[in-house]
Amino acid sequence: MLVVWKGHMLPIFQQFLKTICLPLVFRDSCSSPGHVSPSPHPGSTSNGLCMWFQYVLFWPLFHLQLAKTHGNIYTLWFGWTPVIILNGYQAVKDGMTTHPEDVSGRMVSPFFRALAKGKGMLTCGHHWKQQRRFGITTLRSLGMGKKGLEYRVQEEASHLVEFFLNLKGRPVDPSFRLFHSISNVICAVVFGYHFSDEDKTFHELISATEYLFKFLGSFVHQLYEIFPWLMCCLPGPHKKALSCYEVLSSFARNEIRRHVERGMPDEPQDFIDFYLVEMEKYKDGVKTKHDEENLVYVINDLFLGGSETSSTTLYWGLLFMVVNPDIQEKVQKELDAVLGPSQLICYKDRRELPYTNAVVHEIQRFSNIVFVGMPRVCVRNTTLLGFPIKKGTIIMPNIASVLYDPEQWETPRQFNPGHFLDKEGKFVSREAFLPFSAGHRVCLGEHLARTELFIFFASLLRAFTFRLPEGVTKISTEPILGGTLQPHPYRLCAIPR
């Protein structure tokens, strides 16, 4: 019999924060976010305390309780820094979309400043708008044509199927391999090629990315945000995290060099080509906003933003299939009825596969990998849900509270694909499905991520039945806190169908 182990509810350090630190944090919490006076200086958003106490915010249940007392928008004071928490679907949606531009700033914490000098798209940068707009249009352009994004995704999905086939049902922890395949999609898009399984450089890039994400969930990272002047003089994992980022940056620099040396083809082939063309356009007369240094950080944003997120979601997805064999079987029946055994799976096929599509959505909802979302900063004085808010105030849209909002989901704390199906079994989109957030800085890779999740998931389930290795009867579905919410490492067997 399969027992779903619900052990350690929270990592130990979260407990520590809860019991020891909370009384220090909640100097004042009030039902009116208008209490954010005295207003912080705009520059105070880089206050390391905010980053540290994000850990407290990372406890979504806690916020649901606070929301019961204080409403769906309230202020938490972290030392001298007010942070406005938006809780539940309505507050997050209204907060992010009513005056989207006003809440479009990002926080550049000391660690992120040390990593990327506040450049690129993910952090902030002086020209984030141009970089972001460029990123979106370029991904769209790359999406078109015969060898567009979908083709890249299909290619990587079929390599992944081959990998599992070669294992012949032997147990494996699929985490690394999922990461490998998803990162290869980004490599193909950005660099114009993908890496072979054995490529040492690729392994280095993946290890560096994994280390960085792990570090972002660590206590030492929080210490760095509070005492950057001290930490930058001390040895420790933060030094390794910074050097991991440098591994990514120097690879990006080499790739840019390679592109420049090979010269521009008639048609730009990949993201770097598009960027280099853009740099030329802006050269004469007008101050250039696209330069090689910024390109390095943009590449890193795409690599970091686009690898760990989708692969972690798929890692959760396979785990949910292992613990819900009935749901897995239903998906397979639908895939068998609609698709041929070797038919190339396209994103548009989701329209004929409502149950599979619903399961993919439910995987994203239930795994809730980004949990509280990425902090935003008000770029001017504004109003948020009717409350006056000062420029520089930090806003946290609590994504977990949307994806688990009891007013929006029938069984928020249960894995239930029915959330996305009507009575006739047709797929229904739900407004409260906001894993990519909303508003001006909504995830830039949303379309790519959705395409990846659908094609990878459908390709894997058409080819295999996933189950636990012989003799394993317990598996945890509790998350581990890192840069994203991760499952505990697990092994499974992919049995060819």
- Residues annotated within the binding site for heme are 443
Number of helices (H), then strands (E), belonging to the chain: the values are 19, 14
Q: Is 400 in the site for ligand HEM (CB under 6 A)?
A: no
Q: Closest-CB residue for ligand HEM?
A: 445
Do residues 9 and 366 make contact, with C-beta atoms less than 8 angstroms apart?
no
Q: Residues 234-273 vs ligand HEM: string with x where CB under 6 A?
A: ----------------------------------------
Considering only 85, 107, 335, 448, the residue that binds ligand HEM (CB under 6 A) is 448
Tell whether residue 295 is a contact of ligand HEM (CB under 6 A).
Answer: no
Q: Is 455 in the site for ligand HEM (CB under 6 A)?
A: no
Residue 311 interacts with ligand HEM (CB under 6 A): yes or no: no
Q: State which residue, 122 or 323, has the beta carbon closest to ligand HEM.
A: 122
Separation between Cα atoms, residue 413 and residue 132, nearest integer Å: 35
In the complex with ligand HEM, the residue whose CB is nearer, 31 or 141, is 141
| Helical segments of 118-199, H only | 128-143, 149-167, 175-191
Cβ atoms < 10 Å from Cβ of 494: 24
CB nearer to ligand HEM: pick between 417 and 468: 417
Nearest to 193 by CA among 269, 245, 141: 269
Binds ligand HEM (CB under 6 A): choice among 110, 174, 306, 479: 306
Q: Is 370 in the site for ligand HEM (CB under 6 A)?
A: yes
Among 373, 392, 417, 479, binds ligand HEM (CB under 6 A): 373
Helix (H, G, I), strand (E, B) or coil at 475: strand
Residues of span 112-171 touching ligand HEM by CB under 6 A:
121-122, 132
Tell me the number of residues near ligand HEM by CB under 6 A: 28
Q: Give strand pairing partners of 75.
A: 30, 84
* Partners of 382 in the β-ladder: 389
Nearer to ligand HEM, 221 or 441 (CB): 441
**Beta bridge partners of residue 78, listed in sequence order:** 81
- Restricted to residues 406-445, the positions that interact with ligand HEM (CB under 6 A) are 435-437, 439, 441-445
Nearest Cα residue to 179 out of 205, 215, 151, 140: 205
Helix (H, G, I), strand (E, B) or coil at 86: strand
User: With contact defined as beta carbons under 8 Å apart, do 190 and 272 qualify?
Assistant: yes
Strand partners, 117: none
- Given the rule CB under 6 A, which residues bind ligand HEM? 106, 121-122, 132, 301-302, 305-306, 309-310, 313, 369-370, 373-374, 376, 399, 435-437, 439, 441-445, 448-449
